[in-house]
Structure 1
Amino acid sequence: MKKEFRIKKNKEFQLVFKNGQSFANRQFVVYKLPKKGQDHFRIGLSVSKKIGNAVVRNKTKRYIRQVFLELENLLDQEADYVIIARKPVSEMNYEEISKSLNHVLKVAKVIKKKKT
């Protein structure tokens, strides 16, 4: 995922936490902050040490980024997203993470309907 698609600075994370809406399920919390005039969405990831060691955390972040890449055309482009992974994610494979993240994004009404 390109650097311009990521939120890195603490100030930007805090802005999304304070002003954004949150949506959650058992595995993920997603914060969404609309940003008018932004060309593409940006995501910030928070995977705590409670999830596991560095290998597990990095694998989890790769999986989350891949799900967002697959949903790129269906997502609201004028928004920032912060995804917080919860403990059950450490035992999940890619398909389960994808399904769970899709669910919470649908709850957040972030995913647009596919055009047939």
Structure 2
Amino acid sequence: MKKIYRLRKSQDFDEIIKSKKQISNNFLVLYYARADNFKLGITIPKKFCNAVLRNYYKRQVKAIVHSLNIYDLNFHCVLILRKSFLKNNFETKQESVNKIFKKLVNTINKEVKDDRI
């Protein structure tokens, strides 16, 4: 995932989380806000593991998102990993990230349909 698609500042993270639009499953929580381009921030709570492992899991998620090729979405997203996500194998992680972004696309489509009516 290229740097232009990453959220960096804590202020940006806070704004998206305060928007309170979220999608969650057993492994992930996705907060999102409408924007003019796609950006993603990934967080893992410090109490789950040390910095080396947190960075490893972030790299895994970035690789999964890159393979999904969802850069045409006009949303800023914050993806929070739960502890159960960390214990799974890569295929399960891939499925859960894929499912949560499919839910986001479905939610977007529902909002667009509701706006048209």
Range into which the TM-score falls when normalised by the shorter chain: 0.7 to 0.9
The one of 88, 108, 116 equivalent to 2:104 is 108
Find the counterpart in structure 2 of residue 56 from structure 1: 53
1:27 offset after TM fit, Å? 0.6
For residues 92 and 51 of structure 1, the distance between their equivalents in structure 2, rounded to whole angstroms, comes to 14
Q: Which runs of structure 1 show a deviation greater than 4 angstroms over 4 or more consecutive aligned residues?
A: none
Kindly report which structure 2 residues correspond to 1:31-110, keeping only aligned pairs within 5 A, or say none.
31-36=31-36, 38=37, 41-72=38-69, 74=70, 76-109=72-105
> Larger Rg: 1 or 2?
2
Taking structure 1 as reference, are residues 20 and 35 closer, same or farther at Cα in structure 2, changes over 3 Å only?
farther
Instruction: Report which of the two has the higher share of helix.
Output: 2
Counterpart of 1:12 in structure 2: which amino acid?
D
Taking structure 1 as reference, are residues 20 and 3 closer, same or farther at Cα in structure 2, changes over 3 Å only?
farther
Counterpart of 1:67 in structure 2: which amino acid?
I
1:106 offset after TM fit, Å? 1.7
1:63 offset after TM fit, Å? 1.0
Q: Secondary structure at the match of 1:58?
A: helix
Higher deviation after alignment, 75-84 or 4-13: 75-84
1:20 offset after TM fit, Å? 5.1
Deviations 1:42-76 (A, max 9, x none): 1001111232222321121011101110111x454
Taking structure 1 as reference, are residues 110 and 47 closer, same or farther at Cα in structure 2, changes over 3 Å only?
farther
Gaps of 5+ in 2: 108-117
Find the counterpart in structure 2 of residue 21 from structure 1: 21
Contact 1:47–1:57 under 8 Å retained in 2: yes
Find the counterpart in structure 1 of residue 113 from structure 2: none
Gaps of 5+ in 1: 112-116
Superposed CA RMSD: 2.1
Matched residues, percent identical? 30
Find the counterpart in structure 2 of residue 114 from structure 1: none
